[in-house]
Amino acid sequence: MAKPQLNHQSKTKIEDSPSQLRGTMASVFILLAVLAAFFFGVYGLFLERL
């Protein structure tokens, strides 16, 4: 009976270019700013109703 073998060896090339990391960091900060603005806007509306 044949034995199943997995001879697939692939090497993934990982490049940590600073421009990609800078773009990721900028995206995270923009998302954080939008979420913070939304949170404080809703919180301000909540305080206004008290």
Dist CA 43 CA 39 (whole Å): 6
pLDDT recorded at residue 1: 66
**pTM of the predicted structure, to 2 decimals:** 0.59
Q: Which residues contact 11 (CB under 8 A, 6 or more apart)?
A: none
Helix, strand, coil percentages (3-state) for the chain, rounded to 5, are: 65, 0, 35
Structure tokens, 3: 């034995």
pLDDT recorded at residue 47: 97
pLDDT recorded at residue 42: 98
The per-type count for the chain, helices as H runs and strands as E runs, is 1, 0
The per-residue pLDDT for range 1-50, each reduced to its tens digit, is 667 777 777 777 776 677 788 899 999 999 999 999 999 999 999 999 99
Dist CA 24 CA 18 (whole Å): 10
